[in-house]
Amino acid sequence: MSVSNWILLSLVNLLDDVKAVAKSHGVCQYRTNNLKDHTKYSFKCSQYRKYPLYGYELKASVPDDDPNSITVMFRDVHNHDDRSQSSRLPSPVRQSVSKYVGIGLTEAQIRAAVSVDHPSTPVSSTKLTSLVQTECRQNRPGIFSVYDFHKWCNDHQDGAVPHSTIVPF
């Protein structure tokens, strides 16, 4: 999955040093290979289960004939955004949605407005719907049902409801 080249990180004398380096770089050991003339210790991001795509990797090569000349190399970077990007809309979009919910636009209006504000950001309708619901709930904590939420958003779409307690912005 990764195409990055290995980059030399440091040369150490002891496997304990490798472990210290690994720890400070947020990786854990996952594989040991006994190769022809050296032993390879492979490490990957301690959170690789949460962030399975790409990610920081470390490896240490211990030469059989010189076990105190350990080469530590790394590649890639910690990439902890993949998961949050897949489950959350990007923050500029979230801000727009929050703003439009605040001024009482309906979900359809918000969808249209967001696509104008962020023409290059694909916004899935499922994510938008759930974000709008969340924002509506935060604006009006008493509302939990989808029906109420739609009704409330509709009621507030152009400030037509008298005695509204909602103060836009």
Length of the chain: 169
Report the distance separating Cα 97 and Cα 95, nearest Å.
Answer: 5
Q: Confirm or reject binding of residue 94 to Zn ion (CB under 5 A).
A: no
Specify the stretch interacting with Zn ion by CB under 5 A; choose among 61-69, 73-81, 108-116, 148-156: 73-81
Considering beta carbons, is residue 27 or 105 the nearer one to Zn ion? 27
Specify the stretch interacting with Zn ion by CB under 5 A; choose among 7-15, 61-69, 77-85, 142-150: 77-85
Q: Do residues 64 and 38 touch, judged by C-beta distance below 8 A?
A: yes
CB of 41 to Zn ion, least distance (A): 18
Residues 6+ apart with CB under 8 A from 10: 21, 72
Neighbours of 16 (CB within 10 A): 9
Considering beta carbons, is residue 56 or 100 the nearer one to Zn ion? 56
Report the distance separating Cα 167 and Cα 13, nearest Å.
Answer: 65
CB of 45 to Zn ion, least distance (A): 3
SS3 of residue 158 by DSSP: coil
Q: Do residues 76 and 54 touch, judged by C-beta distance below 8 A?
A: yes
Q: Which of 45, 70, 93, 114 binds Zn ion (CB under 5 A)?
A: 45
Report the distance separating Cα 130 and Cα 95, nearest Å.
Answer: 14
CB of 18 to Zn ion, least distance (A): 18
Q: Confirm or reject binding of residue 78 to Zn ion (CB under 5 A).
A: yes
Specify the stretch interacting with Zn ion by CB under 5 A; choose among 31-39, 74-82, 118-126, 137-145: 74-82
Considering beta carbons, is residue 38 or 44 the nearer one to Zn ion? 44
Contacting residues toward Zn ion, per CB under 5 A? 45, 56, 78
